[in-house]
Amino acid sequence: MAASYSIQRLCLALNVHPSGYYAWRAEPKSARAKDDQRLLGLIKHSWLESGGVYGYRKIHADLRELGECCGRHRVARLMRAEGLRSQTGYRRRPGRYGGKPPIPAPNRLERKFNVSEPNRVWVTDITYIRTYEGWLYLAVVLDLFSRQVIWVVDEVTHE
């Protein structure tokens, strides 16, 4: 009896009829809210599949590929409400800041890239590739005469 009395007082204070409250309690979620929950499940799945990298634009494109009809702003609103964000930037790599500067290696090639015999001049380069497992370091050694790959090294570091 006391609960019914307090509900009647709240309805009176909010200028709402008690039957409206009980109707709302019987069906608390609208069709739009139910569709938002279903869509949020698809959004979370797509976001987790991307490793937490995708933002609302790419997730919207994923949903469109699945045949879902929704707007970008709706996806952005649902992601914001759930706290899902795209990954922006990378962590700063630890390194030496200060101290003696490194001594550069001498430039023995001096931009003379035309070589007359094989296995006389080799050049190398290194690149970093971000993967789901960590950073992939890829180093390649080329023979300048034949332009063929002599040696390839790749290694994944887990950070």
How far apart CA 126 and CA 140 sit, in angstroms, is: 7
Give the tokens for residue 76. 């952005």
* Residue 54 pLDDT grade (very low, low, confident, very high; cuts 50, 70, 90): very high
Instruction: Please name which of 37, 35, 58, 34 lies closest in space to residue 47, comparing C-alpha atoms.
Output: 58
* CA dist list (Å): 8 to 5, 20, 24, 27, 112: 5, 11, 15, 19, 91
- Predicted pLDDT at 111: 83
What is the signed CA dihedral for 72, 73, 74, 80, rounded to 10 degrees? Answer: 110
Residue 156 pLDDT level (bands cut at 50, 70, 90): low
Q: What is the pLDDT of residue 6?
A: 85
User: What pLDDT score was predicted for residue 130?
Assistant: 83
Q: Are 121 and 115 in contact (CB under 8 A)?
A: yes
Quick one: pLDDT band at residue 157, thresholds 50, 70, 90? low
Statement: residue 135 has pLDDT above 90: no
The single-letter code of the amino acid at 11 is C
What pLDDT, on the 0 to 100 scale, is given for residue 30?
84
pLDDT tens digits along 93-109? 666 677 777 788 888 88
Q: Span 47-76, mean pLDDT? A: 93
Distance CA 15, CA 28 (A): 19
Element (H, E) at 154: strand 149-157
Q: Does the pLDDT at position 129 exceed 90?
A: no
Instruction: Output the pLDDT for position 61.
Output: 95
Query: pLDDT value at position 3?
Result: 66
Q: What is the arithmetic mean of pLDDT over 24-29?
A: 82
Query: How far is residue 49's CA from residue 138's CA, in Å, rounded to a whole number?
Result: 25
Provide the pLDDT for residue 57. Answer: 95
pLDDT for the residue 75: 96
